[in-house]
Amino acid sequence: MDVTGDLVLRPPEPSDAEPLHLLFRDPEVMRWIGDGRVRDLAYYEDFVHHQRELFHTKGYCFHTLCVEGRVAGFAGLHDWNAEWGPTGSVELGYRLGKRYWGRGIAFDAACRVLSGVPHLPLTAMIAVGNTRSERLALRLGFVAAESYRIPGGGEARCHRRGAGTGS
């Protein structure tokens, strides 16, 4: 767990599913995530359960991100296991509720995640057109690399950090 100032990163708890669902039911938040669909509460219950398992087996996961004592989203690492993209890589990911955008929270949280794995090669998959996330990845030391077609439409660019990327 990391606690600094008003931002806390901690392993997810079952009670996080409902606030995550409420934060991420906004279509604008989901615009750049996968197929852009807004998910139901059951999805976030499964998500939290999976992240808890990942934390206990691998030591990393998408940690719940709290700001000023409230769930604001998540940030952390997961195994990229989709059939498309950089399969087998470890990806840095984050998602915040809209009211937390533009405050430097994603950068701060990502820096904390990265400080725990300074030598681990990482990817960050970012939908083409998501300029805010792309700028953040570059600021974090990721380098734009190959692109992939997203099933169902669209394109994502893989950003890489560490081992052979020059960063």
Per-10-residue mean pLDDT of the chain, 167 residues long, equals 73 98 91 83 97 95 96 96 91 95 95 93 95 96 95 90 65
| Per-residue confidence (pLDDT) for residue 147, from 0 to 100 | 96
Amino acid 68: pLDDT: 93
pLDDT at position 164, please? Answer: 56
What angle is formed at CA 91 by the lines to CA 144 and CA 93, rounded to 5 degrees?
Answer: 95
Give yes or no for a contact between 59 and 35, defined as CB atoms under 8 angstroms apart. no
Residue whose token pair is 């509720």: 97
Q: How far apart are CA 94 and CA 80, in angstroms?
A: 14
> CA 123 to CA 144: how far, in whole Å?
10
By three-state DSSP, how is residue 87 classified?
A: coil
- What phi and psi, each to the nearest 5 degrees, are found at residue 160? -125, 150
Report the CATH number of the 7-119 domain.
3.40.630.30
Report the half-sphere exposure of 106 (CA within 13 A, side-chain side): 19
Q: Phi then psi for 159, rounded to 5 degrees? A: -110, 140
- Give pLDDT, residue 53: 96
pLDDT at 5: 63
SS3 at position 15: helix
Q: Alpha-carbon distance 133 to 135, whole Å?
A: 5
CB-neighbour burial class of residue 128 (10 A; exposed 0-12, middle 13-18, buried 19+) = middle
> What pLDDT score does 165 carry?
54
DSSP letter at 36? Answer: -
